[in-house]
């Protein structure tokens, strides 16, 4: 090898060499975005997905994976930039895997998130239905109320890295000294917590990596997962352990919960069931519009806080029960045909067992809230086959600058 030649990088052991070599440079036009936030284009009808490339751009990209039906590549150069491309404020944007869209004008983010719901509905459910424009977050930065930086135990005398997964990897971390998605107060806490964690490791080395917590709430910032904190949503106060799940963008919660309440009420139901109630967010914000509201939750710990939140807010017509997954509606003492059901399952969606029980209960309407429209669309197939039809679809952008969104689908009994 001559001194002017660069050694070719060795491909990963399981790399498929077709249709492109490892780290082959390709040039292509980006036509659309995937729901993972990648720009998608084609070379001779072969799909290539490029991280941080935007629709309408011509780019050069470096291939790092060939799958059975597509290739993935890193962005090398933007040859023709999109008119919607802007400068990202974060110094580690494109390295940190937390954000996908800081370089994308916000109105364009909303447009594409709306479009992706339409595309998922068609590709997965084979249904064409209008999708209302995604509702914007009041805050575009500094909106997150919870941050969980990670760290691994450093090896070979290296410095500890505290941050988030590197874009496109599953085990490598990027150092994040500050994050524009959180407030100044949370960033100050991040600075302190990073320093304390490094000092603890130096005095007594950790045996394994871990996850830190920074949570902002009505009364300040905490780093203790077990601390009981308060969050304000409209005129209601919710208390819960800082480490537990609660929607992560307080600025949009009044509009978000208000929409769910309005749509549950519009069906003319007298009763409300919140089937994944957690600490009572949807159940308690909607209870005033119903004769009776019942929250069901498999976590006994969460139910305890939901009960406390009902009492603290003076909501007497709401009750909460610990539900068994095999008989989730067994403890409901009012008829399904006079009820509206709100469901907000985890990212994996609902089980078929739960959906079958929901269909058997037979509510007049279902308000399906999801942080993962892909699993939501999968579940919709079961609900549509079970006698429901789509009435309205409304995305909410709880996570500006990222590919993530919440989508609310309103279903009525056919």
- Could you give the residue numbers annotated as active site? 371
Q: How far is CA 280 from CA 57, 239, 313, 343, in A?
A: 45, 10, 11, 12
297 is in an annotated binding site: yes
Q: E strands within 207-346?
A: 210-211, 214-217, 220-222, 228-233, 236-241, 271-274, 292-297, 318-322, 339-343
373 close to 407: Cβ distance less than 8 angstroms: yes
Which of 155, 179, 177, 175 lies closest to 165, judged by CA?
175
333 is in an annotated binding site: no
Q: Which two tokens stand for residue 162?
A: 């505290």
Distance between alpha carbon 216 and the CA centroid of its chain, in Å? 18
Which of 131, 198, 174 lies closest to 396, judged by CA?
131
152 is in an annotated binding site: no
DSSP character at residue 327: G
247 is in an annotated binding site: yes
- Cβ–Cβ contacts within 10 Å for residue 150, how many? 15
CA distance 100 to 117: 17
Q: Which two tokens stand for residue 50?
A: 């490029």
Which of 409, 411, 401, 410 lies closest to 113, judged by CA?
401
284 close to 278: Cβ distance less than 8 angstroms: no
Q: How far is CA 257 from CA 182, 228, 339, in A?
A: 22, 22, 18
CA distance 345 to 219: 28
CA distance 131 to 26: 35
Q: How far is CA 140 from CA 170, 183, 252, in A?
A: 27, 11, 11
Q: Name the binding residues for S-adenosyl-L-methionine.
A: 247, 276, 297, 344
Q: Name the binding residues.
A: 247, 276, 297, 344
């Amino acid at each position: 090898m001559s001194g002017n030649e660069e050694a070719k990088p060795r491909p990963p052991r399981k790399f498929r060499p077709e249709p492109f070599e490892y780290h082959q440079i390709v040039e292509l036009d980006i036509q659309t975005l995937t729901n993972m936030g990648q720009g998608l284009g084609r070379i001779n009808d072969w799909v290539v997905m490029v991280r941080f490339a935007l629709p309408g751009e011509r780019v050069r990209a470096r291939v790092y994976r060939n799958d059975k039906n597509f290739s993935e590549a890193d962005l090398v150069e933007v040859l023709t930039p999109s008119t919607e491309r802007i400068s990202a404020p974060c110094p580690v944007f494109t390295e940190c895997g937390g954000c996908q869209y800081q370089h994308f004008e916000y109105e364009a983010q909303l447009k594409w998130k709306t479009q992706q719901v339409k595309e998922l509905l068609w590709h997965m459910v084979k249904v064409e239905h209008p999708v209302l424009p995604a509702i914007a977050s009041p805050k575009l930065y500094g909106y997150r109320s919870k941050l969980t930086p990670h760290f691994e135990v450093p090896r070979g005398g290296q410095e500890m890295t505290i941050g988030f997964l590197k874009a496109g990897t599953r085990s490598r971390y990027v150092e994040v000294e500050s994050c524009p998605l959180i407030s100044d107060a949370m960033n100050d806490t991040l600075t302190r917590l990073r320093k304390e964690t490094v000092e603890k490791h130096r005095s007594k080395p950790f045996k394994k990596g871990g996850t830190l917590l920074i949570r902002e709430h009505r009364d300040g910032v905490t780093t203790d997962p077990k601390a009981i904190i308060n969050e304000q949503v409209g005129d209601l106060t919710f208390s819960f352990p800082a480490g537990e799940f609660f929607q992560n963008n307080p600025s949009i919660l009044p509009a978000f919960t208000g929409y769910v309440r309005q749509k549950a009420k519009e069906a003319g139901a007298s009763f409300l069931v919140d089937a994944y109630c957690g600490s009572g967010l949807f159940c308690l914000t909607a209870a005033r519009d119903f004769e009776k509201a019942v929250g069901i939750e498999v976590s006994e710990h969460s139910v305890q806080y939901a009960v406390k939140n009902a009492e603290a807010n003076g909501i007497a017509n709401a009750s909460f029960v610990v539900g068994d997954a095999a008989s989730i509606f067994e403890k409901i003492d009012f008829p399904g045909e006079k009820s509206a059901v709100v469901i907000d399952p985890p990212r994996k969606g609902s089980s078929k067992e739960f959906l079958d029980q929901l269909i058997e209960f037979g509510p007049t309407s279902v308000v399906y809230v999801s942080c993962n429209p892909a699993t939501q669309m999968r579940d919709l197939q079961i609900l549509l086959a079970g006698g429901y039809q789509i009435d309205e679809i409304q995305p909410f952008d709880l996570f500006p600058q990222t590919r993530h969104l919440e989508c609310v689908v309103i279903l009525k009994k056919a």
